């Protein structure tokens, strides 16, 4: 269970991360903050590229920071966009790998209002994950 204090902290960190977005093409900055298994929070922002497909979403930047810092599991993620947008399909699959089936997901708008609190089983039902390769 995430405390209200932790929810607010994750949203505040995602807002901070969003300020570092490199999104000159879409002009749609996104910020994310991940609570990792070690208790630390990792920030990420979307990073675009003149060759558009080489861009990376904020959620994956934050998750990959956590994983490349030695974590193998994430406990929660907050995402901040204008209009509190929902994560893309590719990011949902990456969340599945490291957050499990029920990863808590907080979606907040640019002012930090928590617009939707959900989990990965809602956003990615009947998902394929690491356990499915062990049959």
Catalytic residues: 59
Compute how many other C-beta atoms are within 10 angstroms of the C-beta atom of residue 102. 10
- Verify binding: residue 22, ligand THU, rule CB under 6 A: no
Residue 134 CB, shortest distance to ligand THU, in Å, is 29
Q: What are the phi and psi torsion angles at 104 (to 5°)?
A: -65, 135
- Verify binding: residue 58, ligand THU, rule CB under 6 A: yes
The DSSP annotation for 39-50 comes to S-EEEEE-B--S
- Verify binding: residue 88, ligand THU, rule CB under 6 A: yes
- Verify binding: residue 99, ligand THU, rule CB under 6 A: no
What is the separation of C-alpha 115 from the centre of its chain, rounded to a whole number of angstroms?
Answer: 15
Alpha helices in 47-88 (DSSP H): 58-68
Among 48, 67, 95, 104, binds ligand THU (CB under 6 A): 48
- Verify binding: residue 17, ligand THU, rule CB under 6 A: no
Query: How many residues bind ligand THU, per CB under 6 A?
Result: 13
């Amino acid at each position: 269970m995430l405390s209200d204090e932790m929810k607010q902290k994750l949203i505040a960190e995602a807002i901070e991360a969003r300020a570092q977005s490199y999104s000159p093409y879409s002009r749609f900055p996104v910020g994310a903050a991940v609570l990792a298994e070690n208790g630390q929070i990792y920030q990420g922002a979307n990073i675009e590229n003149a060759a558009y497909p080489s861009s990376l979403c904020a959620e994956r930047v934050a998750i990959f920071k956590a994983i490349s810092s030695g974590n193998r599991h994430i406990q929660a993620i907050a995402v901040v966009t204008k209009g509190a947008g929902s994560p893309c399909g590719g990011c949902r699959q990456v969340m599945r790998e490291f957050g499990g089936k029920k990863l808590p997901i907080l979606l907040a708008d640019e002012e930090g209002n928590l617009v939707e609190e959900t989990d990965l089983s809602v956003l990615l039902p009947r998902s394929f994950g690491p356990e499915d390769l062990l049959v």
